[in-house]
Amino acid sequence: MAKIQTSLRIEEKSLKEAKVILNSLGMNFSEAVNVFTSMVVQTKGLPFEVKIPNKLTSKVIQEAKLGVNVDEFSVDEIR
């Protein structure tokens, strides 16, 4: 299949972080975008759920951002 070149506007910090993560997975940014694009085509939409959080979820997210009602825990505790 023919490939075309395109451009994206992405926040620099996010792109740098994404590249580090993708590199650890053995892929580059272009490969990841191709995987995402293939999944959009395959699922005929976004390949993940996108929805507006309910009131309780919004409250919990806001509290977490403010550091309210957040307990210290280790990764081992949630495995």
Q: What is the pLDDT along the chain (79 residues), one digit of tens a residue?
A: 898 999 999 999 999 999 999 999 999 999 999 999 999 999 999 999 988 999 999 998 898 889 888 777 777 776 6
Residue 30 confidence (pLDDT): 95
> Under the phi-then-psi rule, with left for phi > 0, alpha for psi from -120 to 50, and beta for the rest, what region is 63?
alpha
Q: What is the rounded distance in angstroms from the CA atom of residue 39 to the CA atom of residue 46? A: 8
Q: What is the rounded distance in angstroms from the CA atom of residue 19 to the CA atom of residue 53? A: 29
Residue 11 confidence (pLDDT): 96
Residue 40 confidence (pLDDT): 97
CB 40 within 8 Å of CB 47: yes
Residue 37 confidence (pLDDT): 97
